[in-house]
Chain A
């Protein structure tokens, strides 16, 4: 027999089972699609970040930076004139909101085209052909945008755009477009308004200040310059800040990738089931082939080859589907990045070669890995006879203790690794995978035990059919065990992730109660956090205090400052109100003692910062770059914080003003006089602040908004979790279909003996119901273990957040419902076949 006829026979057998082959393709396709979608979303977000960083940083080697208020522009003059540093360019950066575009955040970039050419292609003199320099300098409202952006928003030269800047509404005018340079991308300038540096200072309320000075320096020049800098100004390598910012999202993206791989792993179970079924069904044919001279090795290769073809088709379909899903995923991922990290405009998720190769390789790899055991099984088919299915199952049952033992070993190894890998997220995720796979390997053994327990109950409840249902699950364990394991893993992941999200949400909700103590909050619109750089004038305090019904106005200043642990968020607060005792994770002394230290110049550090920097709460201090130079601040306590993953500090405004020349404010907490209606108070404040565009929110609304953002950040996690359940569900359908096909003669015999279609349906539903129930019951402890690992290990190591694990009983019922629904839905097609199957044909089957 030639290899071509072998392959022909193989592929015909695939075509003869279109449903099963289709399910196999779908399993791989869905798994690959999820991985590809997440990879595309992550890569697109990364690429957008990289492009915008390149556009902003350009070819600068170093940057001069200051505190939150920036650096005086006189320093630039001194640098060029007195110190002769010619390769320098002033930059003013800030964020505004386009009022007419549903408050779309836009980045303002103020540059001087006369000196910018060595740094950035877009804005230098090299670009005079497309930038009308006269307008650039003379029109203080002139901004230049990318052609894509102008097209998207329907802007023409002369169009005016209203923007919100802090507490002001301002107008800018489109003066022209900046086409991308050769080889460049228009996406680099997406949502960027380029304007003259002086005009940008005026627009952003930073007259006399620069955000930074970009420099091109050799190593020696840098050392010389560093020695001559005034207090509060630092020379840093270019891109250091953006690089740190980029690293922040790594843990988030890694966690998403891990979750996306879950769908592929579940898809692998599906491949195993389908290929094993195909091998078992063809045992007589395979035996004949052996008798005709085919070696075990050739059979092994044959099974792998046909699986590879199916997996390749699945992977290709998965690429297409992943590309489509990627469009949705990129929105969710970039939304989360915007909510949690930094403002990023990601519009597309183009299919990259690297992602395509990764998707195809993962699909093929998962397919071949899933087919490995069935291929070994095929290779072991004796030449003379087709081994009975019962012998195969007997062998499978003999393997159960070994499989379970391997599971225990993996579980142990994973647990040890979890303890050992103290800080590595990747190792922690690998350890988690070890724990999950270990527990999954114990599922078949647990199924045998549970079915033995269920047998007598089923007999009492449903007679011989009940007994058959329980025993047939065990009898076909080589198949049912895998299907149950796949569903168990998916449902466990659902329990684990749900419990983690619920716990997290409840922790955050409690925390919000501790943090949001004011009755009404006033802030500039736009994303929260210091990266926004909102500058509100201090005279707003008096204006707010004048509103009827206001007892106290608490001003807050939130900025980014440099520390020995990188850039962190610093919030300066009104020292009159000490913080709630429940807010402290670790503390030295009573809340009163802590606050006394804070009033004395100490800071309190957020938990993520303490975790990341390894700050010991008892004796820690932190060095910050202030406008007076580096200063060390004692840490009085560590507080719970779920806003700034980069780490945050709290100090009093008094301390802040002592070390930073920045009187601007970021937001205000308003305490009402007793008996005030908060909605009325908020309405009066809105009237008072009319024309400023500032947002006034009562405590309740702000709390709801915070939780809404929380839910939004977990939208993609939920979507991935559901997809894994869908793949497992397909696995269950495939397993059940295989079982029903295998048992056609048995079922026909039952009908010949007087079993009604109703009784047959009950039998099938009992079998699938038992499988679903076992999956759900086993997923409870596994889900709990997963939840605990996610909460206490993965989340802590990824983000530094401590979460109080909270398990709601409804979660277990939900898991049971998912398990049962998946199993019962999976029975629909087998039931449909049963009612249509001809008994006579079934009896004829060998």
Chain B
């Protein structure tokens, strides 16, 4: 379970303090698929970074399964990310000097996991995302959609409980984006992962269990877009 308790994030700028988050509070249950919408610069990515412990709030607290992330040391937060969080970025952020399989294996490698075990998982995941025959390719030989599918496999390889996706379709065309979201949702729901997805797309947001919006530094419930049918929330694993 993720608890966001009165989160503030402020940035010092010449002559003023710019507040991006002004007291965000929310609770996200295990296995829930939450979409976060909002205008550019509204603080969506900042919120994801705070949840992942990449950034620290100016005030307030993020709790993962009851543990305050902001009270962890930098090293503890890194270890937490390794084991509990899978990250998917808008620009895929694959490491250009590693092959597809090496990119997927990277979190395991960083965690010092035993190679054969991790390799089996990585190959299986690549099979799930339909790229088992592209294992030896470097990222620059893949299309955008393929790169994002590799990123999904990478995010899942360590079996995290939480997947954070920051506009994962923002750099893809609609059709490819839909396929990527299909895959991400399917994998997350099947494994019972919590999925927090930042998006501008009403259509993609409509697939979430819950849609929240960042407005004036606050996270507020957002109405489901009309004409789009919400999917049923899967059972908890």
Contact = CB atoms under 8 A, between A and B. Distances in A.
A716 B83 CA distance: 59
B111 interface: yes
A843 interface: yes
Contact of A755 (B46, B97, B110, B140): B110
B45 to A, nearest CB: 7
A843 B54 contact: yes
A115 B85 CA distance: 102
B110 A754 contact: yes
A732 to B, nearest CB: 20
Given A475-B96, A756-B78, 17 more contacts: A390-B96, A463-B109, A467-B98, A468-B97, A746-B95, A750-B106, A752-B93, A753-B87, A753-B106, A753-B110, A754-B78, A754-B110, A754-B111, A755-B110, A756-B110, A759-B110, A843-B93
Interface in B87-116: 87, 89, 91, 93, 95-98, 102, 105-107, 109-111
A464 B105 contact: yes
Contacts of B154: 753
A463 B87 CA distance: 21
A388 B147 CA distance: 16
Interface in A211-261: none
Contacts of A745: 91, 93
Interface residues of B, number: 31
A754 B54 contact: no
Contact of A464 (B54, B83, B87, B109): B109
Nearest to A756: B78
B75 interface: yes
Nearest to B107: A753
Residue among B55, B97, B98, B106 having the largest count of chain A Cβ atoms under 10 Å = B97
Nearest to B155: A753
A746 B154 CA distance: 15
A388 B91 CA distance: 13
A16 interface: no
B110 A839 contact: no
Contacts of B54: 751-752, 839-840, 843
Contacts of A468: 95, 97-98
A643 interface: no
A464 B106 contact: yes
B15 to A, nearest CB: 20
A757 interface: yes
Interface in A133-179: none
A844 interface: yes
A48 to B, nearest CB: 58
Given A752-B81, A753-B107, A754-B79, A464 B102 contact: yes
Interface string A728-772: 000000000000000001100111111111010000000000000
B74 interface: yes
10 contacts: A464-B106, A467-B97, A471-B97, A746-B93, A746-B96, A753-B87, A755-B78, A757-B78, A843-B89, A843-B93
Contact of A844 (B45, B79, B83): B45
A472 interface: yes
A749 B93 contact: yes
Contacts of B59: none
Nearest to A388: B140
B179 to A, nearest CB: 23
Interface string A454-475: 0000000001110110011001
Contacts of B98: 464, 467-468, 471
A475 B96 CA distance: 9
B74 A749 contact: no
Nearest to A394: B140
A125 B107 CA distance: 95
Residue among A468, A745, A844, A846 having the largest count of chain B Cβ atoms under 10 Å = A468
B135 interface: no
Contacts of A844: 45
A679 interface: no
Sorted nearest first, the 10 A-B pairs with minimum C-beta distance are A754-B82, A471-B97, A464-B109, A749-B93, A840-B55, A840-B49, A839-B54, A754-B81, A463-B109, A390-B140
Contact of A840 (B46, B75, B81, B105): B46
A844 B91 CA distance: 10
A548 interface: no
B52 interface: yes
Interface residues of A, number: 28
Contacts of A751: 54, 78
Nearest to A390: B140
Contact of B52 (A463, A752, A755): A752
Contacts, number: 84
Contacts of B52: 752
Contacts of B106: 464, 750, 753
A754 B107 contact: yes
Contacts of B91: 745, 846
Nearest to B164: A752
A838 B53 CA distance: 12
A463 B91 CA distance: 25
Nearest to B87: A752
A685 B158 CA distance: 89
Contacts of B93: 745-746, 749, 752, 843
B210 to A, nearest CB: 24
A746 B97 CA distance: 10
A464 B97 CA distance: 10
Contacts of B111: 754
Interface string A557-598: 000000000000000000000000000000000000000000
A429 B110 CA distance: 52
B140 to A, nearest CB: 5
B96 A756 contact: no
Nearest to A470: B97
A749 B78 contact: no
A472 B98 CA distance: 9
Nearest to A746: B95
Contacts of B109: 463-465
Contacts of B87: 749, 752-753
A390 B97 CA distance: 11
Contacts of B102: 464, 467
B111 to A, nearest CB: 6
Contact of B97 (A472, A754, A756, A846): A472
A757 B45 CA distance: 22
A843 B140 contact: no
Contacts of A843: 45, 49, 54, 89, 93
Interface string A684-725: 000000000000000000000000000000000000000000
Contacts of B79: 754, 756
A599 to B, nearest CB: 77
Contacts of A464: 98, 102, 105-106, 109-110
A219 B91 CA distance: 89
Contacts of A746: 93, 95-96
Interface in B24-48: 45-46
A475 B97 CA distance: 7
Interface in B193-231: none
A390 B139 CA distance: 11
Nearest to B108: A464
Residue among A388, A471, A757 having the largest count of chain B Cβ atoms under 10 Å = A471
Residue among A475, A750, A754, A843 having the largest count of chain B Cβ atoms under 10 Å = A754
Contacts of B83: 754
A283 B89 CA distance: 23
Nearest to A845: B91
Interface in A620-641: none
A475 B75 CA distance: 30
Contacts of A752: 52, 54, 81, 87, 89, 93
A472 B95 CA distance: 10
Nearest to B45: A844
Nearest to A462: B109
A756 B49 CA distance: 16
Contacts of B46: 840
Interface string B39-76: 00000011001001011000000000000000000110
